[in-house]
Amino acid sequence: MAKRVLVVEDNDLNRKLFCDVLKASGYEVEPVADGEQAIPGIRRFAPDLVIMDIQLPNVSGLDLIAEMRRDAAFAKTPVLAVTAYAGKGDEERIRDAGADNYLSKPVSIGPFMAAVKALVDA
């Protein structure tokens, strides 16, 4: 059975790219364009991995990761955080929020898929 990946990304091009690459690699993918849809999407889709943009409209990806970690049903679901705004201390803040791994944008396909496989196949 295909592993399930929820992609939380507000940028249309990035969301499409992530989803297309994941589907081509055999993953079942559910895209979410808004942070407010992320938690309902996680509950509905029950993903094996969440790819979480940090800079989202309406709610921060950091807040969503922290909310996931407080919910026993999703506390152990791996999270790959991605963000365009990687400054000093950001990786530590993102990992402290509960992300399992972190990539800065622009994301290259090779490192992206390596990070996905490391988290899903662990």
Domain spans in the chain, listed from the N-terminal domain onward? 4-120
Largest CA distance in the chain: 40
State the alpha helices, DSSP H only, in 25-108.
Answer: 38-45, 61-70, 90-97
Per residue in 59-83, pLDDT tens? Answer: 999 999 999 999 999 999 999 999 8
Q: Domain spanning 4-120 has what CATH number?
A: 3.40.50.2300
Mean of all residue pLDDT scores within the chain: 93
Nearest in space to 113 (alpha carbons), one of 1, 12, 5:
5
Q: What are the average pLDDT values for consecutive 10-residue runs of the chain, which has 122 residues? A: 95 96 98 94 97 92 95 96 80 91 92 97 76
- Say what the pTM is: 0.95
